[in-house]
């Protein structure tokens, strides 16, 4: 969910992976891997990405259906 949300945000704001990477302080390749869910991302990196996007993540815990 997070990778697709990051990609959708980037595309909606007409940003390239390189531009988002520059805002975050990481290389384009890391943004590409993040969007493809192809690497383990640290919470620190996610915080930087969401900060650059001026967004926050809201997590909702829901009980499993039995």
Q: What is the H or E stretch that residue 61 is in? A: none
> How far apart (Å, rounded) are the C-alpha atoms in residues 29 and 18?
8
Residue 66 clears pLDDT 80, i.e. is over it: no
This prediction has a pTM of 0.82
What pLDDT is attached to residue 36?
Answer: 96
> Average pLDDT of the chain?
93
| Residues 9, 56, 60: CA angle, nearest 5 degrees | 105
Mean pLDDT for 27-54 is 93
Q: What is the H or E stretch that residue 17 is in? A: helix 17-24
Q: Which domains does the chain have, with CATH numbers?
A: 2-52 (1.10.260.40)
Helices 43-52 and 17-24 sit at what angle, rounded to 10 degrees? 110
> How far apart (Å, rounded) are the C-alpha atoms in residues 66 and 52?
40
């Amino acid at each position: 969910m997070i990778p697709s949300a990051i990609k959708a945000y980037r595309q909606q704001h007409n940003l390239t992976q390189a531009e988002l990477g520059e805002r975050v302080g990481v290389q384009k390749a890391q943004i590409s891997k993040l969007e493809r869910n192809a690497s383990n991302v640290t919470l620190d990196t996610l915080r930087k990405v969401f900060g650059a996007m001026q967004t926050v993540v809201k997590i909702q815990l829901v009980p499993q259906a039995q």
